[in-house]
Amino acid sequence: MAYAKQGLLGEFKGRLGNTVIYEVYGKTRIRLKPSVKPPPATGAKKQAQEDFKLVMSLMQATKAFVRIGFYDQAEGRSAFHEGLSFNLNSYRQAENKDIGAWLQLSNGQRAGAQNLAIQREGKKAIVSWGAPEPGKVAAGDDAVLLLALNTCNFDCNWVLSKYQRSQQQAEIILPPLKEDEECLVFVAFRKQLQVKKDIRNISASQVV
């Protein structure tokens, strides 16, 4: 039993069963702790938690790209959380759960590129591209965004402002890869000078 000389609680601080009593800025606070530890999630709830964990891990690994890639779509929240929400929905709707089939590091209506190709030379990859996608806005000085992702441990490298669309070729260092590991390279194109947010400022990312 806990006893306090000054009123019901007095100067007592501590725990009484599942009740925690403490002081913050001179005021006494009382907080109830759960008396029973909740059971582990099962079924649909467990699957939802696992989906979120996977997508969040990928967003954290690729956030340098994602913060640019979803900036123009983000309204009332950060570009990171816009990308997280978009990709969580994309993952849950995808029949093919391979990362390259559903992961988007940017989303917009600017032209991507046709005839994407990749050539690996040792620890680097050379990415090349052809004409812009037809029917969409593009410019020769569009910035090229590149990211190489190890799909096993999510290590990645990126190049975000070194190259322009008109060069039609760019290089990126690949993250360390073991013999049985796969690497995906993502590319997107972004307008060089953005006056205001506009979904035509950036293209949807493409896997090379």
Average pLDDT, the chain: 90
**Same domain membership, residue 51 and residue 21:** no
Per-residue pLDDT of 37-51, as tens digits, reads 777 778 788 899 999
Q: How far apart are CA 124 and CA 122, in angstroms?
A: 6
Global pTM reads 0.79
Same domain for 175 and 84, yes or no, is yes
Judge if 82 and 97 occupy the same domain: yes
Task: Match 């812009």 to its residue by tokens.
Answer: 132
Instruction: Give the integer Cα–Cα distance in Å for 186 and 199.
Output: 19
Whether residue 92 is found in the same domain as residue 16: no
How many structural domains does the chain have?
2
Mean pLDDT for 122-146 is 97
Q: How confident is the model at residue 1 (pLDDT cuts 50, 70, 90)?
A: very low
pLDDT for the residue 2: 46
Burial class (CB in 10 A: 0-12, 13-18, 19+), 191: buried
Reference 129, options 189, 194, 191, 63; nearest CA is: 189
Is the pLDDT at 5 greater than 60? The verdict is no
Which residues form the domain of 16? 1-38
52 plus 34 within the same structural domain: no
**Residues 6+ positions from 191 with CB-CB distance below 8 Å:** 110, 139, 142, 143, 200, 201, 202
What is the distance between the alpha carbons of residues 167 and 131, in angstroms, rounded to a whole number? 11
Same domain, 66 and 106: yes
Question: What CATH number should be reported for the domain holding residue 110?
Answer: 2.60.40.10
pLDDT for 20: 76
pLDDT confidence of residue 16: 67
Q: Are residues 122 and 152 in the same domain?
A: yes
pLDDT at 178: 92
